[in-house]
Structure 1
């Protein structure tokens, strides 16, 4: 009889490491799922789904603001996010708005997967890679809404993959993938300029590092060597810049991207554009997480400073400065920081003895994160079953769906997008969240209407406003106006907002214009 094969059990160390790897990976995946599989709360997605519907139906991108009932409807509209708008419309039609939760979560897992792959490859450690990837996801989680920005983050991490892979392999053909990345990015989100910018940082940093390494060579030889190293990255930067012109706005998109953050109204009233060090942001959890990420980054850089290259330093400096400009840019910092930290960790000699503690740490951090997310929600307080948002409640949706309800609606700007999604053109808003297209002056007029009764009465009469849809924040500003008490009644109210209707007698009564003294 033939002898039975001898089954050799794997060494205990291998079994332990496999168990730790599995535990760490599962814990981190569950954590990221809890952070990202939450109901869609962004008011932008309503507007983008509607715009996507119009683009698909008309086979053309709207070039004006279009939806409001005032003169501003003819303002130019920079539809720089037209491609995600089509995607959101098709997804909304395929899985319903409630099903978009799974789309948002899938994008979260995809982003985490890209980050983990990048960090593990650069650090040569699964434990370190998981910890760093989770850090980036937590830093960015306060902005993790189903918006075009998510696609931009995926493209940015994909570009980092590409540049670091070329850095290690020297395969220039792989750099050609930067061109489709640039085209997709430019037609997806206004942050597309980051692509050429990152490539330019690599060109400068790698060139200077090459100069430094050849300090003993003659100057012409040093500069030739530096240029040989920098040129491919410079070509990527220029190529991405040119490829990004393949968009419906052409050069106009460049002007839009450079001037978007110049709006004083945006910086004052819109939370995502406030300065990072403003009191409204420094007192929130996302800022504390950002500070912790800075501390981790500085700790890694300080302990491994001999491995720090010029590219590493420039990336951290550029995105650190950007993060301190506006609160929305904080989300970008984590993805750059983990790439730099992972490269520094992986640049030294391999230390097998470190992997087990790192895996155990990743499993522990993941488990603690899961416990915290189950108790308190994600970074902005959302759970898979509930989310803080300005989304309409089901009773409000039913109220607005009445066919007989038609006309112009004066609304809080945050509510305009969902009103458009659900009721346009039967109901037309005064404004939605595209403040860049409406302009600072129009936004300030809308704000002034909430405190100036004579101006509000004139606006209502001029545009035959039949309804108001206001967040409670805005309703308290007008509720004591005599004309509101006499001419309007509450049609419906919930814990978020109020729907006011104009009394029939008020709608038919003549309005006397205010005199010079108001």
Structure 2
């Protein structure tokens, strides 16, 4: 006889096992993305400032690193972060630094998991967690914002529990947390914003429920508690070395992001809108998926909608859509809310038709878990073997410590050993390492500190990297004695031939990462005579010297982490081939450029950018068939490669294949945004067909992008 109630099913081990394996798969995916080699260039000025604070027991208030912005007020609200990272680096080396950031990311998602409890539906939760991890993966970097991620997660964990009737005392912990946040990263104002969203919700619900109701009394108490916490957190924001100026600092960040017309957004990739057309990475696509699913879940679960959720969704969604660096802020803050609303929908679906849909919902959950278990390992493999980062044109790779052969330490060692003095010119990307290696002996021309650099200085920098005459004037203005530029940076790369072919400059150092030029003046005569490089004759060393950035810290820690992480040993060597190939390409040494690109592709055959550059080398040598072949390979590896589409269109155009050319030009615009050359070519095709008004529209669009674009100006004159 069966005494078991038919309403109570005995749990099977299979569903539990599937859920656990699905959760384990997501955990491994997260860890693989958290463990990436440090490639962010800003880490160097943070480390140098942390050292300065510890050694001098003072927090900087004016810029001391730069000769162009020296003496400018510097509101360094990263100071606590800088002390933490330098102390970690000093004690445990670069591998310890990696472990610090991995720990921060792990704790952030653990806190978010607690914010999602209790879960209404496991499948909805793990799918949204997987999407959130992928969407935020573009910003799992060694930067101060990592601690902002941790704080957002902590705030959401506490506020979500408080909203559900728990954490009544824990909510006061937000005040000391706000003090820490204020002194670690400039986006600390998000803390009071999150609290305000929940206060607004409590206040409106209290008003709607009526003053006499018991529910209103309960909400009134919660409202007063949150109001006290908000006031306390605002006062906590004032506990910083700069007082009210520090409190107002987030406005500086918010006014310098968003929109392609903003000079900061145009100069710094992370400030560009995610869907502007610039480098639409995998993480941005995942962000789009996460945002759409979250929005649909919130809208469809309108019965349980809360004003706090709408405010958080709209406020942080606006920031995320204005600047790609803000994507994780939205993802982390809305993840618990999305899980709640998606779970409500799934439960409601299971309860529909008198509960008859529950079995189908359970089957869907198990099928979803099985699918995640099967699919996630493929993504982990792409992360570990580097394909995930290569496809997004990112420098990070799976592993620990600093990314090898990325930072131009050899160039700075050469400058110091040979007594080359300033003023020195440098490109922006290496400004952080310049500060770390050269301060206080020399001061930097430019770096990426928004707190210090003015819009005018950035405009001037962008102009001189594109205009040889402007660079010559700037060199006379500041009296540059030398220039150190990393040709791994596009803006600096185009300065290479300008300096190399100028009689005023001599190339005295070159490795796969950077170059050093000195002025051809008598005081530099000795080094010019002994070290001047003829790029057409001298074989450039393939490996940059003195790459010892990962040599510090406990040996056992490095040995252990190296032993448990597989590494792509050919990665750095391949990039060195590619980097030198680019140098030869801009110098007009197309045959040598092609040789270097082919050598690199043997080691890394899945680089679309290298295939494109190889095609460009053949293109410039007049071998159009080979150029088409490699442009085509670049598109196979990355269908959104706008420049490859544009160049294929140009070759088709030259061969008289007008329809095919037009198709490629349109693809170039779709994937790369408004490009004056492509717009002009489309106008020329329309003109050839006698479609003069259409041609006029194309050429006017070209001039809208570049008002000085001469071919479009001449074409419009001819048309008129």
With normalisation by structure 2, the TM-score equals 0.62
Cα distance in 1, alignment partners of residues 131 and 501 from structure 2: 50
Alignment of 1:15-414 (within 5 A): 15-70=13-68, 72-119=69-116, 121-212=117-208, 214=209, 217=210, 227-263=220-256, 264-280=262-278, 283-345=280-342, 354=362, 356-357=366-367, 359-375=369-385, 376-378=387-389, 380=394, 382-385=396-399, 391-393=406-408, 395-396=410-411, 398-400=413-415, 402=417, 404-414=419-429
- Kindly name which structure, 1 or 2, has the bigger radius of gyration based on alpha carbons: 2
Name the SS of the counterpart of 2:232 in structure 1: helix
Does residue 466 of structure 1 match 2:481?
yes
User: Do the aligned residues in 2 keep the contact of 1:489 with 1:503 (CA within 8 Å)?
Assistant: yes
Structure 1 residue 271 displacement after superposition: 1.2
- Residue equivalent to 2:449: 434
Residues 389 and 318 (structure 1 numbering): CA distance in 2 closer, same or farther, change over 3 Å? farther
Cα distance in 1, alignment partners of residues 409 and 318 from structure 2: 43
Cα distance in 2, alignment partners of residues 438 and 241 from structure 1: 28
Match of 1:443 among 455, 458, 475: 458
- The C-alpha deviation readout for 1:33-53, integer Å capped at 9, x for no partner, is 211211111111100000000
User: Do the aligned residues in 2 keep the contact of 1:209 with 1:309 (CA within 8 Å)?
Assistant: no
User: Do the aligned residues in 2 keep the contact of 1:410 with 1:430 (CA within 8 Å)?
Assistant: yes
Residues 470 and 124 (structure 1 numbering): CA distance in 2 closer, same or farther, change over 3 Å? same
Structure 1 residue 463 displacement after superposition: 4.2
Aligned length: 492
User: Do the aligned residues in 2 keep the contact of 1:43 with 1:390 (CA within 8 Å)?
Assistant: no
Residues 14 and 467 (structure 1 numbering): CA distance in 2 closer, same or farther, change over 3 Å? farther
Residues 365 and 381 (structure 1 numbering): CA distance in 2 closer, same or farther, change over 3 Å? farther
Structure 1 residue 224 displacement after superposition: 6.0
User: Do the aligned residues in 2 keep the contact of 1:123 with 1:344 (CA within 8 Å)?
Assistant: no
User: Do the aligned residues in 2 keep the contact of 1:128 with 1:358 (CA within 8 Å)?
Assistant: no
User: Do the aligned residues in 2 keep the contact of 1:261 with 1:273 (CA within 8 Å)?
Assistant: no
Residues 37 and 170 (structure 1 numbering): CA distance in 2 closer, same or farther, change over 3 Å? closer
Structure 1 residue 207 displacement after superposition: 2.9
User: Do the aligned residues in 2 keep the contact of 1:211 with 1:225 (CA within 8 Å)?
Assistant: no
- The C-alpha deviation readout for 1:77-120, integer Å capped at 9, x for no partner, is 1111100011111111122235423333232222222223322x
With normalisation by structure 1, the TM-score equals 0.85
Match of 1:492 among 509, 512, 537: 509
Residues 139 and 122 (structure 1 numbering): CA distance in 2 closer, same or farther, change over 3 Å? farther
Residues 117 and 366 (structure 1 numbering): CA distance in 2 closer, same or farther, change over 3 Å? farther
Q: CA RMSD in A?
A: 3.2
Structure 1 residue 197 displacement after superposition: 0.6
Cα distance in 1, alignment partners of residues 312 and 492 from structure 2: 46
Structure 1 residue 67 displacement after superposition: 1.1
- The C-alpha deviation readout for 1:371-412, integer Å capped at 9, x for no partner, is 342452356463215998994256446535526344332000
**Larger RCO of the pair (alpha carbons < 8 Å, separation 6+):** 1
Structure 1 residue 425 displacement after superposition: 2.3
Residues 255 and 154 (structure 1 numbering): CA distance in 2 closer, same or farther, change over 3 Å? same
